[in-house]
Amino acid sequence: MIWRLSPDFPDLFPDPSEADPSGLLAIGGDLSPVRLKAAYARGIFPWYDAHSPILWWSPDPRCVIFPETFHLPRRLKRTLRQKNFRISVDEAFSAVIHRCAAIPRLMPDGSHAGTWLVPDMISAYTALHQLGLAHSIEAWDGEGLAGGLYGVRLGGVFFGESMFHERPDASKAALSGLMEQLRTWGVGLLDCQMTTPHLARFGAVEIPRAEFLAHLTRYLDR
């Protein structure tokens, strides 16, 4: 059963266990900060394209990285030692999210979404950034912004949303920078949402949704 969200109750979501096999849980609602914060705190995130209403997902299994088991490939270690990139936090959130928007993505159910970061999504995460809840990590080289990523932080959990690169290894350098920042923040769980071979190289693992939600409860109060 796919739930239809009421605009009158922005913090009300169904139990994630009621999602369909693809992870789709609910439809509709809005992207207000109250609703987005409530969704992430329950292990739910929005993902849709310009041709569909707002879709809310809680896939099973869930892809995560635990900072203590993060793996940095040997070649990337050499690249970072050469200091080819300068890493920053929240210096260019708008530029990062707009460049992420230009990259085609797959929906959680495997369908092609094209440019899934529609203008309403960009506005919503920009509002979260202004509230101190959404953050960007940037990788700079001599030619400017070379790569980056952004996501949402609640307590001891960081929910990664998207990344991009315009130079080789730039997004990987940004991910490495994120892990350093997560340790500074005391974050114990990085939610990657969907598994990719790229993330697996860095220590990402799949865990059952029930286990993910248990970790979420544990780390949100940090």
DSSP classification of residue 148: E
Tens of each residue's pLDDT in the chain, 222 residues: 899 999 889 999 999 999 999 999 999 999 999 999 999 999 999 999 888 999 999 999 999 999 999 998 888 888 888 888 999 999 999 999 999 998 766 666 666 555 679 999 999 999 999 999 999 999 999 889 999 999 999 999 999 999 999 999 999 999 999 999 999 999 999 999 988 888 889 999 999 999 999 999 999 987
* Structural domains in the chain plus CATH codes: 3-57 (3.30.70.3550), 62-220 (3.40.630.70)
Q: What is the pTM of this model?
A: 0.93
In degrees and rounded to multiples of 5, residue 28 shows phi and psi of: 95, -155
Residue type, 74: R
